[in-house]
Amino acid sequence: MTRWFGLFCLAVLGGCLSKPKDPGHEPFSSFNGAFHRDIVVEGLAGSAATSGADVSATTPDGQSIVDGKSGAAGHYSLAFRWADDTYALELTANGGIDLVTGRPPEFVLRGVVASGKARVVANINAFSTLAVEIARGLNGGLRPSNLRDAEEIAATALNCGLTTLVADGPMTATIDGRNAAELGMASATLAEIFRRTSAQLVLAGFDVSANEVIRALGADLVDGLIEGNGGRGADPLVAAVASVVTAQVLAESLSHRLRVDGLDAMGAIEATIAGIVGNEPTVPLGELKPGLETVAQFRRSLAVVAAVSDDPAVLGLAGIARSITPETSATELRAILPPGFGRAVSKLTMRVAMNDSDLVEAINLSARRAHDGAPNRPPTISGEPPSSAPVGSTYVFRPAFSDLDGDALTFGISGRPAWLVFDSQSGQLFGTPSAHDVGVYRKITVTVSDGIGIATLGPFSISVVNAGSMPSIAGTPPTTVVTGNTYYFSPRADDPDGDELQFRIDNKPAWVSFDAGSGILAGVPREHDVGSYHDIRVSVSDGDSTAALAAFTITVTSILREAGAVTVSWTPPTHNSDGTILEDLAGFRVYWRAGSAPYRTSMLVTNAAATRAVVDDLEPGRYEFAVTALNSHGRESGLSEPVEKVAR
């Protein structure tokens, strides 16, 4: 049952109502389940892929909704009906045969259905399994926003070879020939980290399953790093062993020599990927190279190991890791791996697994330093890539970048059009498109890394158009407006071909209205809108190419009469009316009235941490104010105890 917020108090009065004052604002009620939707959930199940797994979906309280099985190549599909108000639904994949190991999986694979779309892609792999455990430790548990954050943490902290799927998401991306090798190799690598961490602890005499390793790492990663000190359930020993194991497994994976059960698993992984797509993938396994996140993860893991080892093989690779870039191939990495590195890390792993407390503490401390890098500071990257490239004209864009520590920087790109050349030393894009390149190239991102931190520019799009056919836009938007006055701007736009134009605005202030047909901005700001609104962009498109005005700022200044404004303050609630802890506070709504007139809405406050609001434009007189709380579902609590204030 959905709970409603407990009542809370205006700070100036101090007591709480036991029931709403106004019959027009009743407390939350539970969802009645009247709205349902037919849903088809499909995706790929397995560390790389698992055939014959029992796949099921369950409600947030653990009740089974539907069951099915994964096919011979790991694909599954579930169809069911569900109320579209309650998410996330948890998916599990049990049993079957892991097509890489040739035996049942060592851990339960988990995933989620986080939306009520008619057709949902929900891959159940090593990354989704870890993300579910991370989300459990975040405030609010398995809610969709937490799952998005958890997926990002998993894909960054334990990247294991993801490149395009860092942005697209290993949980929700459709897996095809373009990314099957990437996901299969990365997920198999992450699964081997789980397995090898568990195996080392078992060899040291601890009864720790792969499921328990995943739960401990998920709890640890609520703060974004593995160092034994995250959320409840984090384990310093598991964290230390996993940190060392990661260095060994990544070295094998990036050199395309990943071992499972001590045997080369690359042939099995390649066969599994071919089975997933039904033929040779568009991007085959042999062409995979590490992305910036993978390089950063590898460097961090080597820094952790090198900080506690004096073995020459380990120290040698830690130094070499600084020269590894996203352009380093598996063949090149194999050539520079120091002899004996794997054996050296295996010895260190066993020492850690025996629970040498000083060594465990030293590894977790070095993990914190490698992650936050005091004194390391991440690089920055910025710039506005041109959005159009006329045929036959040279396109050039070079981003602005900096690193306060002076570290060597490496640039990467995803979504690069074939007609563009990319310089990995400067991040510059340049090229001259021809007539057959006409079209729109989307989801281009440029990244820069100092080996630990990563900064991203984009995603952005480039439209290649025939020369002379691009639309144009002009005009100078006003940059200031006084509260109570009208802001108005109408851009001028033209298209040589007479195509129908469509306008767009980015970073629009809430108090401004925008007409996509004319590009007109208009609005009257109020006192609570006072401030500066930066990086507003107005652009126009003919469907193929885009032109944009330079980004601009609108500053709203105040003519507020001090006597006509009233400040209302309150103490946010912490518990629901049934005494349970309030976890999904989303904001507040301020009401006021004069005399015995009905309450009317003053404003919606969308900041859950707010404790005050200014009500302005009041006529002189005595007013009664009250506040309600809103949760993330938009349900509203009863009114607080009212307080009287005078506007003069």
Nearest by Cα to 47 from 235, 268, 198: 268
Query: Which pLDDT does position 315 carry in this prediction?
Result: 61
Q: What are phi and psi of 645, to 5 degrees?
A: -140, 155
529 plus 494 within the same structural domain? yes
Query: Which pLDDT does position 180 carry in this prediction?
Result: 94
Instruction: Collapse the DSSP code of 348 into the 3-class scheme (helix H, G, I; strand E, B; otherwise coil) and give the result.
Output: helix
Q: What are phi and psi of 604, to 5 degrees?
A: -100, 125
Copy the structure tokens of residue 648.
């003069």
pLDDT tens by residue, 491-514: 998 887 777 899 999 999 999 999
Which runs of E-coded beta strand occur in 210-294? 259-260, 263-264
C-alpha atoms less than 13 angstroms from C-alpha of 4 in its C-beta half-sphere: 17
Residue 32 has pLDDT above 50, yes or no: no
Q: What is the dihedral of CA 7, 12, 15, 20, to 10 degrees?
A: -40
Four-residue CA torsion sign, 178, 169, 287, 407:
positive
Band the pLDDT of 250: cuts 50, 70, 90.
Answer: very high
Instruction: Collapse the DSSP code of 355 into the 3-class scheme (helix H, G, I; strand E, B; otherwise coil) and give the result.
Output: coil
Which residue stretches of 64-168 are H helix?
A: 126-137, 144-157, 164-168
Residue 4 in domain: no
Residue 67 in domain: yes
Residue 523 has pLDDT above 80, yes or no: yes
Percent of all residues in the chain with a pLDDT value above 90, rounded to a whole number: 35
CB atoms within 10 A of CB 312: 13
Q: Rg for the chain (alpha carbons), in Å?
A: 28
592 plus 451 within the same structural domain? no
Instruction: Collapse the DSSP code of 477 into the 3-class scheme (helix H, G, I; strand E, B; otherwise coil) and give the result.
Output: coil
Query: Which pLDDT does position 129 carry in this prediction?
Result: 96
> 504, 530, 557: which is the final residue of a domain?
557
Helices 266-277, 180-203: crossing angle, 10 deg rounding = 140
188 plus 111 within the same structural domain? yes
512 plus 430 within the same structural domain? no
More confident site: 593 or 316: 593
Instruction: Collapse the DSSP code of 409 into the 3-class scheme (helix H, G, I; strand E, B; otherwise coil) and give the result.
Output: coil
Band the pLDDT of 10: cuts 50, 70, 90.
Answer: very low
Residue 393 has pLDDT above 70, yes or no: yes
Cα–Cα distance for residue pair 517/538, rounded to 1 Å: 12
321 plus 424 within the same structural domain? no
Query: Which pLDDT does position 76 carry in this prediction?
Result: 96
Mean pLDDT of the chain: 83
Residue 589 has pLDDT above 70, yes or no: yes
422 plus 477 within the same structural domain? no
Do residues 507 and 491 make contact, with C-beta atoms less than 8 angstroms apart? Answer: no
CATH number at residue 513: 2.60.40.10
Residue 358 CB contacts under 8 Å (≥ 6 apart), including other chains: none
529 plus 642 within the same structural domain? no
Residue 547 in domain: yes
Cα–Cα distance for residue pair 122/136, rounded to 1 Å: 18
Mean of pLDDT values over 608-628 = 81
477 plus 614 within the same structural domain? no
Residue 460 in domain: yes
Q: How many domains does the chain have?
A: 4
pLDDT tens by residue, 188-247: 999 999 999 999 999 999 999 999 999 999 999 998 889 888 888 899 999 999 999 999
pLDDT tens by residue, 50-78: 999 999 999 877 888 899 999 999 999 99
pLDDT tens by residue, 107-130: 999 999 887 788 899 999 999 999
Query: Which pLDDT does position 288 carry in this prediction?
Result: 87
Cα–Cα distance for residue pair 520/509, rounded to 1 Å: 14
Which residue stretches of 68-179 are H helix?
A: 126-137, 144-157, 164-168
Q: What are phi and psi of 68, to 5 degrees?
A: -165, -170
pLDDT tens by residue, 559-578: 654 446 778 888 888 877 77
More confident site: 245 or 403: 245
More confident site: 563 or 99: 99
Residue 367 has pLDDT above 90, yes or no: no
Residue 180 in domain: yes
Mean of pLDDT values over 414-433 = 91
Residue 24 has pLDDT above 50, yes or no: no
Residue 426 has pLDDT above 60, yes or no: yes
Query: Which pLDDT does position 114 carry in this prediction?
Result: 82
pLDDT tens by residue, 156-187: 899 999 999 988 889 999 999 999 999 999 99
Mean of pLDDT values over 545-567 = 75
Residue 3 in domain: no
> 465, 489, 508: which is the final residue of a domain?
465
Mean of pLDDT values over 258-276 = 91
397 plus 350 within the same structural domain? no
Predicted TM-score (pTM) of the model is 0.57
Percent of all residues in the chain with a pLDDT value above 70, rounded to a whole number: 87
Residue 131 has pLDDT above 80, yes or no: yes
Query: Which pLDDT does position 3 carry in this prediction?
Result: 37
Cα–Cα distance for residue pair 131/230, rounded to 1 Å: 14
399 plus 520 within the same structural domain? no
Q: What is the dihedral of CA 23, 28, 33, 34, to 10 degrees?
A: 30
Residue 2 in domain: no
485 plus 452 within the same structural domain? no
CB atoms within 10 A of CB 474: 10
Nearest by Cα to 336 from 319, 351, 353: 319
Query: Which pLDDT does position 575 carry in this prediction?
Result: 79
Range of the domain at 606: 9-31+561-647
Mean of pLDDT values over 444-453 = 79
Residue 108 in domain: yes
> 372, 394, 426: which is the final residue of a domain?
372
199 plus 54 within the same structural domain? yes
More confident site: 634 or 5: 634
